[in-house]
Amino acid sequence: MKRRILCAVLALTMLCTLALSGCETSIGERRQDKSETLYVGVVGTSFPTSFMPWLSRDGIAPTVASMLYNTLFSYNDETDDFEPLLARRWCYVDLEGDPLTEDGTYDTPNDYDAVEAYYVSRAEDYMAVRVELFDNICWSDGEPVTAEDVYYSFDVATDNAFSNHAGALAWTADLRHSSSRGELIEQGIFTAQHPDLSGTYPIRADEEKTVLYLHVNKVFGAVTTLFNTILILPQHIWKPLVSEQEQLNNKHPAGEFLRQFQNPVGCGAWTLNTAETNSQMIVLDRNPRYHLRAADGSELYKAKQIRFLLYLDSNTAIFAVRKGYIDILDSSVSTNFVSLLEKEPDICVSRAAGTFTSCLVLNVNPSAPFNSGMKTLFADRDFRKAIALAINRQELVDKVLDGAGKTAGAGLILPNNALLYNEKADILSAPMDIRRKEANEILDRLYPQKDKDGYRLIGGERIRFEILAGAGAQDLVSYLQRQMQTIGIEIAFKAAGSAPETTYLYRSDFDMTVQPVILSMANADVMYRAHFVTTERSSNYGKYADPHLTETIEQMRMSLNRERKAAYIRTLQEMVAQSFYKIPLYSADVLSVARTDRVTGYKTMPGAGVFNNETLKNLHWVNA
C-alpha cells in the first residue's frame, strides 16, 4: 500500500509541468470565479462531439444526456417508488380507465392488492397504466412537451428499423406496443391523437396534451424501464428526420441530422452551451424554463453553470483537484490516492456504499465459431464450482480495494437489502482453506494430470483462461491469477478495448469477463431475464440457459403479489448461487473527491460519486 501511494505521488510530481496545459483558461477562471459555476473534472480519452441521447453509453455521454433530457420519473430505492420528472403522477387503471388506487382517485399511491385482485381474474394478458405529465414543460426551443412526444419516443423505441438501437427494444420489451418500418403493428400507447378506437380510455379536452395510457405485460416491473430509462425526445425535431434510411441512432450523421446531434433540443434541467463547448470542455447552463422547483420556490439546482474539463488520465485529474483547478472530480478515485487526499486541506473524500456486485462471468454456452477450446470446460457445473470455491473474496476486498468495499453473496443481492437478501444463498462463505481443499478435490477427479509447475493439463495442454477486462482491472486479475494458481489453473489478462460488448461479449469471443450486476425489487422483472435468460445481445454474456431457472424467473415476473414476488427473488438467489455462472467478487465503495474552498453542500449517495443530483440541489458558494 505504501509503495503504491509513493508511486502515485511520484507520478503526480512528474506530471506537474504537463498537467492541464490544454485548459489553462479554465484553470484561471476557476481560481478567480466568484459566480455560481461548478468546475468538474472528468477522466477519459475524449469528449463526445454530439449529444443524441440514445447514441452512446461511453464515458460522460450518458451523464450529459440525462441532464439535457428527462425520463418520465426517477426511481427512489429507499421508498421503492417513482418520483416526478416529466410526469407528475401515474397509476394502474382497470380496463375502463378507472383508477385502481386506495381512494379511487388518480392522486394516491396504487393499491397493489386491488391491482392483483382485478388483473389476476382477467383474461386479457396485459394491464393498463395511466400517466399524467406536468402541463408547464417546454423544450429548450420553446415548443411545449406533450403526451405525443412520449408516444413518439416509445413508438420509435419499439421500431428497430427506425431506431437502430438494440437497447431500446429491451427497454420496451414489456410494453404491449410495436411498430416496424414506421407502420403500427400493435397499439399499446393511447393519447388524444392516437386514441383507443373503442373509446375505452377517457381523455378530457383539458388533458389532451398531458394524459396517456399504456398497455403493459402483467408484470409490476414492466413500467420500470419505461418510466426511468427512456429519455423522452422532441417529436417535432426527430419525426421529420428519422426514417429507415436515416435511423435515429445514426452512425454517420450529416446535414440537419448532424446539426441536431450537435445542438440538442431537450427539456431537462440543463442546456448545452454550444458556443463554449469543445473537445476539451463541455459547458452546461441551468435551464431557466425547467419546471421542477425547490420546496421554497427557488431553482431546484443551485449551480448556474457546469464546466466539465477533460483529463486523459487519473493522475493528472488528481493533481488538478489537489491544486484547486477543479471543484469536483467526477470519477471514482482509486484507493491508491485516498490516504494522500484525506490529508489535504479543503478537500473532502466521499465514501459511498456500492450498489452493485462485481462478478467473474464464465462463458458457459459459447456460440459458433467460438464454441471450442478451453472455454468448453465451463459447461461442467462442477468445474465452475471449483473456480468459485477458489476465489478468496475477502483478499480481493483487502488488497484490490484496500478495504473500501464488502464481500458479496453468491445470490448477487447485497446483504443491506433487508427485503430481499437470502443468507441461504451465501454458499461461498466457508473458511478459505476448506473451500480451496474442496476445489482441488473436484479438479483432482476431473483433471488430475499436472505439469512441472503444478498447472492442470487436458490432452497434454495446460488449462488456461483469459479474463477480458478494462485496464483498471489489472490489479484484480493479478490477484485472481494467484488464487487460481492454487488449484492449478492458469489465468491471463486480456484488454477489453473500447467496445467490448460488440467486439467480444455478444459474439462469445471470450473465456471470462468482469461484469457489474445490480438486482433489486425495482429491476428484477427486467434484469433477471437480461442476466440469465435472454441470449442475444443482453447482459447474459455467457449465454447461460437453465429451464428451471427460466421458469422460476417467469413465475416471479408474472406474480402480481409483491410479497410472493419477494419470496420468488429469495428463491432465485439460491438458484443463481448454485449455477456458479456469475461468481461474486466484491461490492466496491464509490470513492470520489471534491474541494470545499469555493463550494460546499456535497451529498454522499449510495452507488454514486459526489457529483450527483442531490449535491446539485444543495450546493452553497462560500464567497457568493
pLDDT at 7 over 50: no
- Do 38 and 118 belong to one domain? no
- Number of domains the chain is built from: 3
**CA separation for the pair 389, 436 (Å, rounded):** 6
pLDDT interval class at 421 (50, 70, 90): very high
As a whole number, mean pLDDT of residues 135-149 equals: 96
> Domain limits at 15?
2-47+280-353+590-621
pLDDT at 314: 85
| 611 in any annotated domain | yes
pLDDT tens-place string over residues 27-52: 555 667 778 999 999 988 888 877 87
Query: Is it the case that residue 493 has pLDDT exceeding 50?
Result: yes
195 & 320 share domain: no
- Residue 434 belongs to what H/E stretch? helix 432-446
My answer on whether 42 and 90 are in the same domain is no
**Is residue 220 in a domain?**
yes
Cβ-based neighbours of 72, under 8 Å, separated by 6 or more = 82, 85, 86, 87, 90, 131, 133, 150, 226, 227, 228, 230, 232
Q: Give the C-alpha distances (Å, rounded to integers) separating 391 from 179, 359, 386, 429, 484.
A: 47, 11, 9, 11, 7
What strands, in cross-sheet order, belong to the sheet with 281-286? 270-272, 281-286, 305-311, 37-43, 328-329, 590-595, 347-352
**Which amino acid would we find at residue 159?**
D
Q: Are 84 and 134 in contact (CB under 8 A)?
A: yes
Per-residue confidence (pLDDT) for residue 503, from 0 to 100: 92
Mean pLDDT score, 529-550: 94
Q: Which three cell numbers stand for residue 5?
A: 501511494
Question: CA 161, CA 367: separation in Å to the nearest integer?
Answer: 25
Q: Is the domain of 388 the same as that of 490?
A: yes
Domain end: 213, 238, 263, which one?
238
Q: What CATH number is associated with residue 77?
A: 3.90.76.10
Residues 495 and 566 in one domain: yes
**Could you give the percent of the chain with pLDDT greater than 70?**
94
- DSSP β-ladder status, 126-133 and 87-93: antiparallel
User: Mean pLDDT across the stretch 395-399?
Assistant: 95
Domain assignment present for 337: yes
| 131 & 218 share domain | yes
Q: Do 390 and 507 reside in the same domain of the chain?
A: yes
Do 313 and 375 belong to one domain? no
Q: Work out the angle at residue 454's Cα, subtended by the Cα atoms of residues 452 and 456, and round it to the nearest 5 degrees.
A: 105
pLDDT band of 58, cuts 50, 70, 90: low
Stretch 269-295: mean pLDDT, rounded? 95
pTM of the prediction? 0.84
In a domain, 266, yes or no: no
Residue 269 lies in a domain: no
Same domain? 336 vs 466: no
Average pLDDT rounded to a whole number, residues 260-272 = 95
For position 624, what pLDDT does the model report? 63
In a domain, 230, yes or no: yes
Q: What does the pLDDT average to over 449-472?
A: 94
223 and 207 in a common domain:
yes
Most confident of 9-13, 410-414, 604-608: 410-414
* Closest CA relative to residue 165, chosen from 224, 214, 238: 238
Reported confidence tier of residue 251, pLDDT bands at 50, 70, 90: confident
Domain identity same for 92 and 198:
yes
For residue 271, being part of any structural domain is answered with: no
pLDDT value for 17: 35
Residue 97, by phi and psi: left (phi above 0), alpha (psi -120 to 50) or beta? left
pLDDT in tens, 568-606: 999 999 999 999 999 999 999 988 999 999 999 999 888
Q: For residue 264, tell me if it sits in a domain.
A: no
Q: Are residues 514 and 607 in the same domain?
A: no
Mean pLDDT of 399-411: 92
Give me the CATH number covering residue 24.
Answer: 3.40.190.10
| Predicted confidence band of residue 614 (pLDDT cuts 50, 70, 90) | very high
d(CA 340, CA 349): 10
Residue type, 593: V
